[in-house]
Structure 1
Amino acid sequence: MNEKSARTSPFYRLTSPSGRTSEGAVEAFESLPTTAGPWSPDSQHGGPPAALLARAIEGLSDARIGRFTMELLGPVPVGPVAVSASVLRAGRSVQLLGAELRDVARDRVAATARAWMFPRSAGPGGDPEPLPHSPADGAEHPRPSGWHGGYLDAIEWRWISGGLEVPGTGTVWMRSPDLVVGEPISPVQRLLACVDSASGASAALDVREWGFLNTELTVHVLREPVGEWICLDAETTLADGSVGVATSAVHDERGLVARSAQALLVVPRSGQGAASSSS
């Protein structure tokens, strides 16, 4: 890691190790300031919760995540959270696992996830085709004025094209800090910590005037990424209503690793009211 990565705090601190409840294993975490999204220091960006839910799921199985879907049921607070996971469908070939993240202070479920788990056996595969650029080719952009640091400062960004305040498609290399204090982040956790940013990297309208609030995130993971850098090649598509979709092809330095999609609520920023953007 470079000097900035070494200094950047992880996203969470484990405060209560795995215990048992009537619903299964549960762990408690302190959400650190690095989880905060760009619009408020009190609400998390969607990337850290996605990675934390994946961590709980990975803890239940030696298989690998092939498809991951997170549902955001409301703002995830920068505060105490509890995460639990369970087996929804057992199987010898594939498994369906689930997880939920609870807002401890309000005693409500803030996010849920489901993941199809696939065996780690060798497949036909093929040689990945690397992108024609690397993180070293990207440019650092200053954080947009008026945007909160938190997650935006915790992530290292290297822009190949586009930018957070540049409407249109965007291609950016990202490097995440560790997820939990004192433990290394897994490859899929690192991917999920970054991929929720596709809607921000490819905003189709001026983000100072319009909000893009993603209610869910679905990621098909072709293979686990290698190395610390994740590249999003992202695009947002809008129609004439309030619904949009942000998609991305996700790469590591060897080639394609995943494809993602997010359903977006597109609203004028003055009319967001109590809504909170995760990205």
Structure 2
Amino acid sequence: MMPAFYLPVSEGVFRSTAHTVGPWGPDSQHLGPPSALLVRALSQLRPTLSRVTFEVLGPVPVADLTVSTSVERPGRSVELLSASLSCEGRVALTARAWHMVGSDTTAVAGGVGPLLGPPSSAVPMEIPDHWGGGYLAAVEWLSLSGGIFTPGDARVWARPRVSVVEGFETSPLERLFAVVDSASGVSSRVDIRKWYAINTDLTVHLHRQPVGEWVGLDARTTIGPDGVGVATSVVHDVDGPVGTTAQALFVRER
């Protein structure tokens, strides 16, 4: 198996590897790898992103994917970027991102929450054998508390074992986006073998750019009485919080 989620085929075209396969079946991807692929393309337009929102328009197939980007709203201080991922002409995932030109705000920086315990204080997260391949095996998972198949809040660390695109160095930003969609999975309140809890979107706000290999999630899922849930998390690197995530969930009994 190739040591990457994707192989470059041609300009803007990438071949999905088995590392992208999600837990629901062999033909569709976990949202982490395609999110990282779109963020990789967006950061090639502008190196720093302050907010990225993904809209999931359908399953992302394990196939050749085409990525396109544009600057929707150019500006000297703030710009709105967009990207899309398609397969055989069908768009499966879109992203819109705000880029803000940086300035020195060290004198007024503050307001971040408490640190997570470091990865060295966590233990390997248990993953059932029948869910052990594809994306879940391509990421190293450590648990401080909770995790997949442990219903409720979770505090975990993760780092991809493979690069996003073969032959190219993976940035800390790409690693973060390869992981953060899993906030809803590690903090699920339902038995996902008996219930659907599928996110229709993902929004990530960053108050600083991440560093290093590890991504921490302090995650929580809330489910209402009408089939709708919300998963949120505070995202960390080893230096502390870097931002927050939110996902809307479609919840139904199987």
TM-score range, shorter chain: over 0.9
Structure 2 residue 74 is matched with structure 1 residue 82: no
Indicate the residue corresponding to 1:194 in structure 2: 179
Task: Report 1:152-191 matches (<5 A).
Answer: 152-176=136-160, 177-191=162-176
For 2:125, the aligned partner's letter is: H
CA offsets, 1:67-126, max 9 Å, x none?
A: 00000100000111000000100000100000000013xx20000000000113322324
User: Partners of 2:125 and 2:75 in 1: how far apart?
Assistant: 47
User: Partners of 1:220 and 1:244 in 2: how far apart?
Assistant: 19
Contact 1:67 1:117 in 2 (8 A): yes
Task: Report 1:52-71 matches (<5 A).
Answer: 52-62=37-47, 64-71=48-55
Task: Give secondary structure in 2 for the equivalent of 1:169.
Answer: strand
User: Partners of 1:206 and 1:223 in 2: how far apart?
Assistant: 34
The count of corresponding residues between Structure 1 and Structure 2 is 251
The alignment's TM-score, normalised by the length of structure 2, stands at 0.94
Task: Give secondary structure in 2 for the equivalent of 1:183.
Answer: coil
Contact 1:41 1:148 in 2 (8 A): no
Shift of 1:147: 2.1
Match of 1:118 among 84, 95, 100: 100
Task: Report 1:255-266 matches (<5 A).
Answer: 255-266=240-251
User: Partners of 2:195 and 2:3 in 1: how far apart?
Assistant: 30
Shift of 1:136: 1.2
CA offsets, 1:144-178, max 9 Å, x none?
A: 24325111000000101002001100110000131
Indicate the residue corresponding to 2:131 in structure 1: 147
Contact 1:173 1:232 in 2 (8 A): yes
RMSD: 1.7
Pair 1:233–1:149, CA change in 2 (3 A): same
Match of 1:206 among 184, 191, 202: 191
Task: Give secondary structure in 1 for the equivalent of 2:131.
Answer: coil
Pair 1:238–1:129, CA change in 2 (3 A): closer
Indicate the residue corresponding to 1:10 in structure 2: 4
User: Partners of 1:83 and 1:260 in 2: how far apart?
Assistant: 23
User: Partners of 1:129 and 1:219 in 2: how far apart?
Assistant: 17
The alignment's TM-score, normalised by the length of structure 1, stands at 0.86
CA offsets, 1:227-272, max 9 Å, x none?
A: 100100000001101110000000111100010000000112x3xx
Task: Give secondary structure in 2 for the equivalent of 1:204.
Answer: coil
Task: Give secondary structure in 2 for the equivalent of 1:146.
Answer: helix
Contact 2:227 2:252 in 1 (8 A): yes
Indicate the residue corresponding to 1:247 in structure 2: 232
Shift of 1:127: 9.4
Pair 1:144–1:257, CA change in 2 (3 A): same
Structure 2 residue 22 is matched with structure 1 residue 45: no
Contact 2:179 2:215 in 1 (8 A): yes
Pair 1:116–1:139, CA change in 2 (3 A): same
Shift of 1:205: 1.3
Task: Give secondary structure in 1 for the equivalent of 2:22.
Answer: coil
User: Partners of 1:88 and 1:248 in 2: how far apart?
Assistant: 28
Structure 2 spans left out of the alignment, 5+ residues: none
Q: Identical aligned pairs, as a percentage? A: 50
User: Partners of 1:249 and 1:141 in 2: how far apart?
Assistant: 19
User: Partners of 1:42 and 1:120 in 2: how far apart?
Assistant: 41
Structure 1 spans left out of the alignment, 5+ residues: 1-6, 18-26, 271-279
